[in-house]
Amino acid sequence: MNRGALPEMIHCLTIPANIAGNNGRAGIAMRVLERQQQSGTHLNEDYQLRMFSVPSVEDQQFQGLVESDQGIGQLVAQAMKPDPGVEDGRNNFCRAESSLNYAGCVFGNGSKFEMNYPIPRTASCPPAVAAAMPEVAAVANKGKEAALLEKLGSAAGRESFKKRKSYKTRDLKVVAEEQSREKKAKGYIEEEDSKITEQNSNSKSTTTTTSNNNNKETSADNSKGNSKLSEIPKLDYIHVRARRGQATDSHSLAERVRREKISERMKYLQGLVPGCNKITGKAGTLDEIINYVQSLQRQVEFLSMKLAAINQSLEFDIENFIAKEMFPARISSIPTVGMSSDFINPSHLQFNSLPQGVSCYGLEMGVNLPDVILRRTISAPVSMPEIFLESSNLNQIQHSSWDPELQNLYGMEFHQGKSTSFNTQPFTGFTEAGDVKL
Amino acid sequence: MKARMGYSTSLKQEFLQKWIKGLHIYSNFKKDMSILERKKAIKLSADVAIASTRNSSTRWSRTLTANISKNVTNKILVEQIFSDPEVIKNKASNRLITCSNRIASRKILRRSHITQIRARKMGPYAVKASSIAKKLVKNRTQVLKSLVPGGENMDEISLIKETLDYIVSLRVQVDVMRRLASAAEHSTRSL
């Protein structure tokens, strides 16, 4: 097959590929093949693409947590788990790859795919379609049509994402596991001849698609431990294996499982609490979590106080609020602006001048200063951190490092705020920089 | 960041709806509140709303609603915000029973722990670093338990799980409240 004939071939094969995209399993098979194909020449640029899509994983996890916090800890742990037997350079690549699943939904924003292929999400994968997949990959492998496959992959990923959403999180979990398993297999096979590799992984992907269906139905609970456990399809008890030199009596095994569970969840908590992922040790992490929860609780107190001060009745103008919410980008910059100009506008001053307000306020800050201006300067950092906490969650700036930064920013902001026309430019720039860094 | 906003919007909207509903109910109860009363009302209704978004599937939300509905007027509010009050009542009563069981078992645990400590003090060896670390972790876990509603009766695994959920909910709460505050502020300024 020469290169000239390839585009037509691919064009023909896009149709089965799209049908395959209908199904979550087949979508994954496709992704595996795609990855294999890319690992040849396009590794560098694809790697970058993947890396760019990584942030969406975190978001995905958030949503997962909102929907059901059950499976998410495991999912995260699996996403974090490095693959053994994969060489160093590839390691990052593979980890980024594991996020492709979720990245699909972000990349899949190109709605033209949706319009072109409105697919009902009901059918289960017919084996013929899965069998069609190797051909696609074989052609693509020779042709190196990375861009086309990338698009297809993203469409399929999106489809599979939706499919998965319609299932429960356990399905998500299983899929993630399957991916990692395949990755491992892939890592070993990679060394061999490319042709053989192709066949091997193709057969593997098809077998895992079938076995995955079994998995999905049976092993909801087994898969909780770690990815190794869930490879055994039908088990209703937890299978634990002691390593060499470890105690094997039931108590210590149970204790080990418990500890693993705790550490898994702690890991996820670390991801959730900003500035927590660089702290080692359980005590430090717990400290940080406590601080974060306390700060959130205080913010709720503070905000309810503020709302009480602003509105004289309990009725709020909802239309106004909804209108504001139409522009979330604008809103996101409002807190910074609002907080800074707060301390100049009369409503806030009124709030400060109220006797009860002052006492509450002072207690909350732990500082009770008579001077209004001083109070302004002190109260600001308390309300400010959340904004920076959010961005520091992305930037992964540590608590200690952003604190002085915050002070500086606030100082600058205060000077500008005095002239009541506040320039939002530096702040939006700051958040944008945070996004770009990811 | 935008993507994350997109995910939790449904939760936020639900929270906002319930919160506004709660505020409405409160304002019908009583007119001309002082600022502190208003603050209390706002906070209570926000708490009930955020707890009801979790649909009493988590322990912290159940405890929160149970604590709030101790008061009679608050109880009405809670029942109105939750669409079906039967569920809460059942859950709350279940919780109380399990609580008493747990307290008893905790007492036994403590007793055994005390004997352990005594045994350790008898020993001649000095305090190890690992034991200090354990103590630190334990102290912090206690603090965390006091922070998360209903955390006193949780074991460590469920505590962490509940904390995760609680943090996410608190974030939603804070975000919505802040937006509403800024919106209200803007409207008052423009008037």
Shortest distance between the Cα of A204 and any Cα of chain B, in A, equals 34
pLDDT at B79: 67
Angle (CA) A12 A13 A18, round 5°: 115
pLDDT at A294: 92
What span, in angstroms and rounded, lies between the C-alpha atoms of B73 and B167?
Answer: 28
Q: Which residues of B touch A434 (CB under 8 A)?
A: 1
Closest residue to A435, CB basis, from B1, B143, B186: B1
B 49-78 → A contacts, CB under 8 A: 58
- A315: closest chain B residue by CA: B24
Q: Are A168 and A24 in contact (CB under 8 A)?
A: no
- A62: closest chain B residue by CA: B4
* Higher-pLDDT residue of B125, A121: B125
Whole-number percent of chain B with pLDDT over 70: 64
Q: Are A49 and A104 in contact (CB under 8 A)?
A: no
Across the interface, whether the CB atoms of A307 and B140 are under 8 A apart is answered no
Shortest distance between the Cα of A379 and any Cα of chain B, in A, equals 16
DSSP-assigned letters across all residues of B112-163: HHHHHHHHHHHS-PPPPHHHHHHHHHHHHHHHHHHHSTTGGG--HHHHHHHH
Across the interface, whether the CB atoms of A283 and B42 are under 8 A apart is answered no
Across the interface, whether the CB atoms of A63 and B161 are under 8 A apart is answered no
- A300: closest chain B residue by CA: B174
- What would the mean pLDDT of B86-99 be, rounded to a whole number? 48
Query: Looking at the predicted structure, is the pLDDT value of residue B112 above 80?
Result: no
Shortest distance between the Cα of B27 and any Cα of chain A, in A, equals 6
pLDDT digit string, tens, across residues B155-187: 888 888 888 889 988 988 898 888 888 887 777
pLDDT at A135: 45
> How many CA atoms within 13 Å lie on the side-chain side of B108?
5
Across the interface, whether the CB atoms of A265 and B183 are under 8 A apart is answered no
Rounded to the nearest angstrom, the gap between the alpha carbon of residue A163 and the centroid of all alpha carbons in its chain is 18
Q: Residue A63: which of B189, B114, B169, B7 has the closest Cα?
A: B7
Domain that holds residue B178: 2-189
How many A/B residue pairs have CB atoms within 8 Å? 194
Shortest distance between the Cα of A6 and any Cα of chain B, in A, equals 37
- Residues with Cβ < 8 Å from A380, sequence gap 6 or more? A339, A340, A343, A410, A414
DSSP A85: T
DSSP A123: P
pLDDT at A263: 87
Query: Looking at the predicted structure, is the pLDDT value of residue B9 above 50?
Result: yes
What span, in angstroms and rounded, lies between the C-alpha atoms of A84 and A336?
Answer: 45
Structure tokens at A80: 């974090």
Across the interface, whether the CB atoms of B180 and A316 are under 8 A apart is answered yes
- What would the mean pLDDT of B46-71 be, rounded to a whole number? 81
- What would the mean pLDDT of B81-101 be, rounded to a whole number? 50
Across the interface, whether the CB atoms of A390 and B1 are under 8 A apart is answered yes
pLDDT at A184: 46
pLDDT at A7: 44
Instruction: Please indicate if any CB of chain A lies within 8 Å of the CB of B168.
Output: yes
Closest residue to B165, CB basis, from A69, A258, A345: A69
pLDDT at B61: 84
Across the interface, whether the CB atoms of A304 and B33 are under 8 A apart is answered no
Amino acid at A121: R
Q: Are A79 and A268 in contact (CB under 8 A)?
A: no
Mutating which of B131, B178, B188 best tests the A interface, going by the most A Cβ atoms within 10 A?
A: B178
DSSP-assigned letters across all residues of A125-178: PPHHHHHHHHHHHHHHHHHT-HHHHHHHHHHHHHHHHHHHHHS-HHHHHHHHHH
Counting every residue written for chain B, the total comes to 191
Q: Are A154 and A104 in contact (CB under 8 A)?
A: yes
Q: Which residues of B touch A394 (CB under 8 A)?
A: 1
- B8: closest chain A residue by CA: A63
User: Mean pLDDT for each consecutive 10-residue tract of chain A (438 residues)?
Assistant: 44 41 42 47 41 40 40 40 40 41 39 38 39 42 42 45 43 46 45 42 42 41 41 59 77 87 86 80 86 91 86 62 48 38 36 35 35 38 39 37 40 39 38 38
Instruction: Please indicate if any CB of chain A lies within 8 Å of the CB of B132.
Output: no
Say which residue the tokens 């939300």 belong to: B61
Query: Looking at the predicted structure, is the pLDDT value of residue B91 above 50?
Result: no
Across the interface, whether the CB atoms of B157 and A324 are under 8 A apart is answered no
- Residues with Cβ < 8 Å from A11, sequence gap 6 or more? none
Residues A209-229 as b/e (b if ≥16 CB within 10 A, e otherwise) read beebeebbebbbebbbbbbeb
Q: Please, which pLDDT band fits residue B44 given cuts at 50, 70 and 90?
A: confident
Instruction: Please indicate if any CB of chain B lies within 8 Å of the CB of A334.
Output: yes
Across the interface, whether the CB atoms of A290 and B143 are under 8 A apart is answered yes
Angle (CA) B145 B148 B151, round 5°: 45
Instruction: Please indicate if any CB of chain A lies within 8 Å of the CB of B109.
Output: no
What span, in angstroms and rounded, lies between the C-alpha atoms of A392 and A402?
Answer: 8
Q: Are B164 and B53 in contact (CB under 8 A)?
A: no
Closest residue to A62, CB basis, from B4, B136, B156: B4
What span, in angstroms and rounded, lies between the C-alpha atoms of A436 and B38?
Answer: 42
Shortest distance between the Cα of A296 and any Cα of chain B, in A, equals 6
Instruction: Please indicate if any CB of chain B lies within 8 Å of the CB of A56.
Output: yes
pLDDT at B123: 52
List Cα–Cα distances, A58 to A3, A54, A399, in angstroms.
Answer: 40, 8, 20
* Higher-pLDDT residue of B122, A223: B122
Number of structural domains (chain B) is: 1
DSSP A343: T
Q: Is the dihedral of CA A289, A293, A294, A298 positive or negative?
A: positive
Shortest distance between the Cα of B132 and any Cα of chain A, in A, equals 11
pLDDT at B153: 84
Q: Which residues of A touch B167 (CB under 8 A)?
A: 269, 272-273, 289, 292-293, 296
